[in-house]
Structure 1
Amino acid sequence: MPRCLKSVTAALALAAPALVFAQSAAVVGAVVGTVLGAASSASQSTSGTTTATSSTPLSNPDTPIGRATPILKQSLRGEILFGQPPEVTLNGNAARLAPGARIRDLDNRLVLSGNLVGQKYKVNYTVDTLGLLMNVWILKADEAAKLWPTTPTEAATWIWDPVSQTWSKP
């Protein structure tokens, strides 16, 4: 094989991934442009000005509990009163939040415990190996109405239905 053909082959081998990336970026750009163009033309009112379109919610309503991050099966139900972080009162007993504890509000957003001082909520929670609260989900009214175990012994004896994501007593 001639030397110039080897160098051209090597250059093409090095350029091929970049060409594929550029080609896929052009396709994605065309699709995004088409979608954005359709959205802007659909959002124009009769006066010709663009109006804000309704945005899609971040949480998936098709999830069994209606949360983007579902409540874990291992969690327990309780009532929490937030004190000065990391102190909380869980079911009337003093407890502590673990370092790095995640607290999710009604809209499944992470919130800081300092913003909840003095507030009382119905929650589901998990504890770490040291007994500190690691995950806390503040419950909506419909979630709080569902049957959920409050102690580890209840969780061990009740029946979990993974399809409907519900607990039932035996």
Structure 2
Amino acid sequence: MYRCALPALGLALAASCVVAHAQTHRPFPANALRGELMVTQFPDVLLNGKPARLAPGSRVRNDANLWVPPAGLTGQKLSVHYTVEGNGLIQDVWVLNPAELANKVWPRTPAESATWRFDPASQTWSKP
């Protein structure tokens, strides 16, 4: 019955890759800001305690970088990186994993990101 062992082994390897991936840093764009997000009633959210709205077609990824429906996160307070469209709607959201949360220096406002320096290779910000 070696045939059955191979799919099980493949499944175990895939699961370990997801766990390992969840503990590493993902590449974020330079315009991503850090904040606290709570979905109140989709598409309405609280971003840093203030009312905001998810854009049509917005993408929310969990800490393992898997897409999740925003309505499934209702009521949870999440530390995130996010991007905002030109019209003020939230476009992309990444729920942060422990390794990403450990990177404490990350801009929270557009003014901070405009004056700080971003290194995309190391995914770190430095203040002037």
TM-score by length of 2: 0.83
Q: Percent same amino acid at aligned positions? A: 46
TM-score by length of 1: 0.64
Q: Does 1:77 align with 2:31?
A: no
Aligned counterpart, 1:149: 107
Question: Aligned to 1:120, which of 70, 73, 77?
Answer: 77
Aligned counterpart, 1:129: 86
Query: Which blocks of at least 5 consecutive residues in structure 1 are unaligned?
Result: 1-39
Question: Aligned to 1:94, which of 51, 56, 72?
Answer: 51
Q: CA deviation at 1:59?
A: 8.8
Taking the aligned partners of 2:18 and 2:34, their CA distance within structure 1 comes to 25
| Relative contact order higher in (CA < 8 Å, ≥ 6 apart) | 2
Query: Contact (CA 8 Å) 1:106, 1:138: kept in 2 or not?
Result: yes
Higher strand share: 2
Cα deviations by residue, 1:95-138 (Å, 9 ceiling, x for unpaired):
00000010000110111111011111000000111100000000
Higher helix share: 1
> Which structure's CA Rg is the greater one?
1
Q: Does 1:50 align with 2:5?
A: yes
Between the two proteins, the alignment pairs up a number of residues equal to: 120
Query: Contact (CA 8 Å) 1:59, 1:108: kept in 2 or not?
Result: no
Query: Which blocks of at least 5 consecutive residues in structure 2 are unaligned?
Result: none
Query: Contact (CA 8 Å) 2:18, 2:64: kept in 1 or not?
Result: no
Taking the aligned partners of 2:119 and 2:28, their CA distance within structure 1 comes to 14
Q: CA RMSD in A?
A: 2.3
Q: CA deviation at 1:49?
A: 6.7
Q: Does 1:163 align with 2:121?
A: yes
- Which structure 1 residue ranges, 4+ long, deviate > 6 Å from structure 2? none
